[in-house]
């Protein structure tokens, strides 16, 4: 079964549960590592319209629900391990709404090829426009990195 289709099936299974319990699907992955397949489901939690931290109890609740549904419908032919977790402290920003949500946060940006002499940048997320990812670097300069150059943006973990 195609990886994309599995993601769509999982999303459809989870939608009613998520609507009732205040969760949001961040992304799914169906990947093979060595000889073992993994279905990974990353979730966010929303309380009173605000995102809150996902705990182990949340992951367990989603895992139990999804595991039961997957057992009932059995849409995946091969054996796999189900993992449910939060996107993590260094979560990738994948959708435009992620960039809006995390404006003002520290990010790490990786590029496909060097732009102005560098392939990676760190700074504060200012905005995402149709053409550019705008960050403020450590020297307080605003950089408008061409959007098509950006391969990955993730939250920076600062201790």
List pLDDT tens digits, range 80-95: 999 999 999 999 999 9
The partner residues of 86 in beta bridges, in order of sequence, read none
User: Residue 158: pLDDT band by 50, 70, 90 thresholds?
Assistant: confident
In the chain, CATH 2.30.30.180 covers: 96-155
- Write out pLDDT tens, residues 21-77: 999 999 999 999 999 999 999 999 999 989 999 999 999 999 999 999 999 999 999
Instruction: List strand residue ranges (DSSP E) for 4-149, in order.
Output: 23-33, 36-47, 50-52, 81-85, 106-115, 118-128, 132-136, 142-146
Residue 1 has pLDDT above 60, yes or no: no
Rounded Cα distance, 90 and 56, in Å: 18
State which H helix or E strand residue 150 sits in.
Answer: strand 150-155
pLDDT above 70 coverage of the chain, percent: 97
CATH number of 96-155: 2.30.30.180
- Considering the chain, tell me which residue range(s) the CATH 3.30.300.70 domain(s) occupy: 3-85
What's domain 3-85's superfamily in CATH?
A: RimP-like superfamily, N-terminal (3.30.300.70)
20 pLDDT more than 90: yes
**Is the separation of the CB atoms in 131 and 96 below 8 Å?**
no
């Amino acid at each position: 079964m195609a990886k994309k289709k599995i993601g769509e099936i999982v999303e459809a299974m989870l939608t009613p549960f998520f609507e009732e319990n205040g969760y949001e699907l961040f992304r799914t992955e169906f990947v093979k590592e060595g000889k073992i397949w993994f279905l990974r489901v990353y979730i966010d939690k929303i309380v009173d319209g605000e995102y809150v931290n996902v705990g182990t109890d949340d992951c367990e609740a989603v895992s139990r629900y999804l595991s039961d549904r997957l057992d009932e419908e059995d849409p995946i032919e091969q054996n796999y391990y189900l993992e449910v977790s939060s996107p993590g402290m260094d979560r990738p920003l994948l959708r435009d709404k992620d960039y809006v949500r995390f404006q003002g946060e520290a990010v790490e940006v990786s590029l496909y090829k060097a732009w102005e002499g560098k392939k990676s940048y760190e700074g504060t997320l200012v905005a995402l426009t149709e053409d550019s990812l705008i960050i403020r670097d450590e020297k307080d300069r605003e950089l408008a990195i061409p959007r098509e150059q950006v391969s990955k943006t993730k939250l920076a973990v600062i201790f």
